[in-house]
Structure 1
Amino acid sequence: MKLRTLGLTVLGAVGLSALPACKKDEAAPAAAQATAPASIKAAPLPADTPLPKDAEETAEAPTGGGTLHGVVTFKGKPPAPMPIIPGTDPNCDGMELEEQPVRVKDGKLANVLVRVRGEVPGQSTPPPGAMVVVDQNRCQYLPRVQGAVIGQPLVLMNSDQTLHNVRGMAGSKQLFNVTQPPLKTKEAQPPKDSDVVRLKCDIHPWMTAFVVLNPNPYFVTSGEDGAFSLRGVPPGTYTLEAWHETLGTRTAQVTVKEGQDAEVSFEFVAAK
C-alpha cells in the first residue's frame, strides 16, 4: 500500500497476527452519534503557499512481517447527535451541524485509532517524507482522528477563506497555538512527550480533531465500516490498542508471525 503524504491520513496500513483477547481498559463519557459527513471540496491553496517539499513525496508501507485485519464494532444504542451552533461566518456554510464523535453505521464504529503500543525494534521512525496533514475546510478539521510518529512534523492547511487558529492541547496543557490566515499552510512540531494531542480553534470553538502520537509507525484509523488493516509489523508479541476520543480504549495481546494473516476485532459498548 502506498502512503500519500498529501492525503488526510498519513501513515499507511501495517501489520500483525494476533490473539483476539480484548478487554476494556478505560471508559470515557459517551458523546454524540454521527450522521453521514457532508461532501466537502477543499479550496485550492494559492501558488505562494506550497506545502513543504517533502510533503509531495510518496512512501511505501513496510514490507514483511504479518498482516492483521479487523473491525471495530459498537454494541447498544449510540448516543444522539448534538447540534452545533455555527455562528455567523459565511465561510462556514456547508459544514456539519451536529457534533459526531461517536460515528456508528450498521453497528460499526469509525474514527478509532488502532495502534501497536511501545517500541518496535527496527521500525521506530516514519517513512521518509511522511507528514501529518490536518486540513481546515468549511470550518471543520479533516481528518478528525489520525496517528503520528513522535517527532513527525504536523502540517496545518487552511482551505477556508477565513481566519483560523490551531491550538494544540495535551490535557489542560497548551502545546502550541498557530494563527492561520485564509488559504495558508503552516507547520507545527508536536512535542515528544505527549500521547494524544487535541486540536481546537478559538475562533470557531466547535472545531475539534485529535492526533495520537506513537513511538512506532504501526497504527491506522478505522473507516466508516469500522474496518482497519495493519501490515508489515516485525515478528514479536505486542499490545494492540484501540483508542476512541470519548469511549476510551480496548486492548489485545498480539503475536506477530512472519507471513501470516490474522483477525482481531474490538467492541465498544454504549454507556448505560
Structure 2
Amino acid sequence: MTLRTLGLSMVGVAGLLALPACKKEEAPPQPAPTTPVAAQGAKEHAATPIQAPEAAVPVAPAGKGVVKGTVSFTGTPPPAADLPANSDPACEGRGDRDQSLLVKDGKLQNVVVRIRGTVPGAPPAPKAPVVVDQSKCTYVPRVQGAVAGQSVMFKNSDGTLHNVRGVVSTRAAFNVAQAPSGPPVERKLPTEGDVLKLKCDIHPWMTAFVVSNPNPYFATTGADGAFFLEGLPAGTYTVEAWHETLGTKTAEVTVKDDAPATVDFAFSAPDASAKQ
C-alpha cells in the first residue's frame, strides 16, 4: 500500500467517526405548524367571555307625559331618636339613629310619589319581584314602591337570624324566619291595603315599607327630594306624596305629551303631629 492510499483511507475513517457527532448537534425537529383554521378557532375560543344572563326587557311606557318635582321639609326637623343598644356582632356597622325622617338641605328623603288610581293603557305588573335586603340589621331599601300584584323578595345578607313580619294596617300578613345568610324568601304583596310595613322581632329597630300602587307610575325620593314619573298618557291625574311619619299630600296635575308637568310638595313638623 502506498503512502497516498494509506492517507486516503485514514481520511475516510475520520469522516465516518465524525458523522454521528454532526448528527447529534443538529436541532431537534419542530412540531408541525398549526393550520390557520385551527389557530383561528383556538383564538376565538380563548377570547369568548362568559355571557351574563340577559336582563328582562322593560315594558314600554303607555305615553309620553312626564311629571317631575321635589319634596321639601319646611322648618327644623325634630332630632332623630337613638336606636336601642345592639349586642349582635352581625349588626356591626348599622346606624345609631332612627331613620324614619331624613332631611338634608330642606329636602325630604324616602317619600313615595305616585299617580293614584288606574291609568288606561298602563303596562302590567312586572314579573320580577321587588327586593328587600337585610344588611347590618337594617332593611335596604327602607321605603320603596311596587305594582299591585307583584311579589316581594326578602334577602338575608347578615350572618344572623332574622324574621320578616309583614303588617297591613294592624293585621299580620305573614311572618317568615330567615337563617343566617340563608336563601331568599318570596311572598305576594297583600291585596288589602296599599302600605306593607315590615318588622323584625329579633332586632326591633328594623323597619321598612313597601307601598303598592295599581299602576307603575311612582318613585321614591332620594337625598335631593326629587322625583320623576315618565310614560304617562296625556290627561289629568291625582299625584300623592306619602311619607311614613308625615302622612300624605295630594295635588292635581294635567299631563301633556309635549311638555313635562311640575308639582312640588312640602311637609313640616306639624304634619307628624297631625298624623298621630
TM range (shorter): 0.7 to 0.9
Contact 1:114 1:240 in 2 (8 A): yes
User: 2:59 and 2:102 mapped to 1: Cα distance?
Assistant: 30
Distance of 1:55 and 1:250 partners within structure 2: 39
Unaligned runs of 5+ in 1: 1-53
Residue 165 of structure 2 corresponds to residue 157 of structure 1: no
Unaligned runs of 5+ in 2: 1-52
Which of residues 172, 175, 184 is equivalent to 2:170? 172
Q: By how many angstroms is 1:85 displaced?
A: 1.6
State the distance in 1 between where 2:139 and 2:177 align.
Answer: 15
Q: Which has the higher helix share?
A: 2
Q: Provide the rounded CA distance (Å) in 2 between the counterparts of 1:61 and 1:162.
A: 40
Aligned 8 A contact 1:67 1:259 in 2: no
Question: CA 1:208/1:58 → structure 2, altered by over 3 Å: closer, same or farther?
Answer: farther
Helix, strand or coil: the match of 2:58? strand
- Structure with the higher fraction of residues in strand conformation: 1
Query: Do 2:62 and 2:122's aligned partners in 1 also have CA atoms closer than 8 Å?
Result: no
Deviation at 1:150, TM superposition (A): 1.0
Report what 1:270 is aligned to: 269
Between the aligned partners of 1:176 and 1:238, the Cα distance in structure 2 is 33
Matches within 5 A, 1:61-72: 62=61, 64-72=63-71
Amino acid at match of 1:126: A
- 8 Å Cα contact 2:62-2:121 kept in structure 1: no
Mapping 1:198-237, distance limit 5 Å: 198-237=197-236
d(CA) in 1 for partners of 2:60 and 2:267? 29
Aligned residue number for residue 118 of structure 1: 117
Match of 2:27 in 1: none
**Superimposed CA distance per residue, residues 65-107 of structure 1 (whole angstroms, 9 cap, x where no aligned partner):** 2112211000001010100124211100000111021100000
Residue 59 of structure 1 aligns to a residue in which SS? coil
- The whole-number CA distance in structure 2 between the counterparts of 1:165 and 1:55 is 32
Q: How does 1:236-251 map to 2 (within 5 A)?
A: 236-251=235-250
For the Cα contact (< 8 Å) 2:196–2:211, is it kept in 1? yes
Q: Distance in 1 between matches of 2:54 and 2:213?
A: 20
- 1:203–1:58 distance in 2 versus 1, CA, 3 Å: farther
Cα distance, 1:147–1:71 mapped onto 2, change above 3 Å:
same
Which residue of structure 2 lines up, in the alignment, with residue 12 of structure 1?
Answer: none
Q: Is contact 1:165–1:179 with CA below 8 Å preserved after alignment?
A: yes
Closer/same/farther in 2, CA of residues 58 and 99 from structure 1, 3 Å limit? farther
Q: Whole-Å Cα distance in 1 between the matches of residues 54 and 247 of structure 2?
A: 32
| Relative contact order higher in (CA < 8 Å, ≥ 6 apart) | 1
Q: Which runs of 4+ in 1 moved over 6 A?
A: none
1:94 maps to amino acid: G
* Structure-1-length-normalised TM-score: 0.76
Task: Give the count of matched residue pairs.
Answer: 218
- Residue 100 (structure 1) aligned with residue 99 (structure 2): yes
Code of the residue aligned with 1:68 in structure 2: it is V
Provide the residue aligned with 1:22 in structure 2: none
> TM-score, normalised to structure 2's length?
0.75
Q: Closer, same or farther in 2 for the Cα pair 1:200/1:56, shift >3 Å?
A: farther
Question: Tell me, what secondary structure is at the counterpart of 2:180?
Answer: coil
Shift of residue 124, structure 1, vs aligned partner: 5.5
Provide the rounded CA distance (Å) in 2 between the counterparts of 1:61 and 1:70. Answer: 23
Question: Percent of aligned pairs with the same residue?
Answer: 55
Cα distance in structure 1, aligned partners of 2:258 and 2:191: 33
State the match for 1:181 in structure 2.
179
Which of the two has higher C-alpha Rg?
2
Report if aligned partners of 2:110, 2:142 keep a CA contact under 8 Å in 1.
Answer: yes
Determine if contact 2:63/2:234 at 8 Å carries over to the other structure: no
Relative to structure 1, the CA distance from residue 218 to residue 142 in structure 2 (aligned partners, 3 Å threshold; closer, same or farther) is same
Secondary structure at the counterpart of residue 91 of structure 1: helix
